[in-house]
Amino acid sequence: MTSKVETVLNNICATAQSCGRPPDDIALVAVSKTQPITAIIPVLDQGQRLFGENKIQEAAGKWPTLRAQYSDAKLHLIGPLQSNKVRQAILLFDVIETIDRPKLARAIARISREEGKFCDCYIQINIGREPQKAGVDPDEADAFVTLCRDELKLPVCGLMCIPPAAQDPAPYFRLLGEIARRNGLEKLSMGMSGDYQTAIRCGATSVRVGTAIFGARTAAQ
Ligand SMILES: *Cc1c(COP(=O)(O)O)cnc(C)c1O
């Protein structure tokens, strides 16, 4: 029987091919937030190695145990990061996808130097300019990329976004691609269970997929 993670990987491959992209250009980040270790192990056993978590405390409770067994697993932080948790985040995660304000960027730069550990960084863009959502305003994106990459010397590899719910996400995905292109950034983290195929057609280089792999989450988050 085909597992859910295999189904998602097959869909990624088929979608990439249908728009003339090499399937290997798109990474799958399996979003394991709220999932217990017992649900994550079968996905690791399928060979999946990139995972996303949105809460530092929760990740700190699960991943040291999992990493002891699966040392090549890589962890992406996809949720909000408070300045007072930066050190813990840098030590626990491989990639930080949610850099969205100067104070946070400065703290990450300083503590990365102190620890001698530099996570790959994505800048989160509030692509729909929604007041309740995290992320840099699209109009401020170029200046913020310059601050993070050129002034603070963070290893900024790309942009991340969550488009407005219940709208066609394609224009928002394309706008993220435009901002990345004009800033010389290669990576686009966009697309979730409901829209990852659209995101791939719009240029996503990684998709963050939770429920399509793990099933519905019990708590709404
Ligand atoms: C939860 C979450 C996802 C995964 O969402 P699904 O709809 O379960 O695939 C992706 N990105 C972020 C930032 C999330 O918080």
Report the pLDDT value the prediction gives residue 120, as an integer from 0 to 100. Answer: 98
pLDDT at 220 over 70: no
pLDDT tens for 60-80 read 999 999 999 999 999 999 999
Average pLDDT over residues 193-220: 93
Report the pLDDT value the prediction gives residue 217, as an integer from 0 to 100. Answer: 86
- Which residue out of 5, 11, 31, 132 has the highest number of ligand 1 atoms within 8 Å of its CB and is therefore the one to mutate? 31
For domain 4-214, which architecture applies?
A: Alpha-Beta Barrel (3.20)
Where do the structural domains in the chain lie, given as residue ranges?
A: 4-214
User: 213 C-alpha vs ligand 1 centroid, how far in Å?
Assistant: 11
Cα–Cα distance between 29 and 51 in angstroms, integer? Answer: 5
Contact call for residues 104 and 77 (beta carbons, < 8 A): no
pLDDT tens for 33-67 read 999 999 999 999 999 999 999 999 999 999 999 99
Mean pLDDT (the chain) is 97
pLDDT at 113 over 90: yes
* Banded pLDDT at 219 (limits 50, 70, 90): low
Give start and end residues of each alpha helix (H) in the chain: 4-18, 37-45, 56-69, 86-92, 102-115, 141-145, 170-182, 196-201, 211-214
User: 114 C-alpha vs ligand 1 centroid, how far in Å?
Assistant: 31
Q: Whose CA is nearest to atom 4 of ligand 1?
A: 210
pLDDT tens for 133-176 read 999 999 999 999 999 999 999 999 999 999 999 899 999 999 99
Percent of the chain at pLDDT exceeding 70: 99
Q: Is 193 in the pocket of ligand 1 (CB under 6 A)?
A: yes
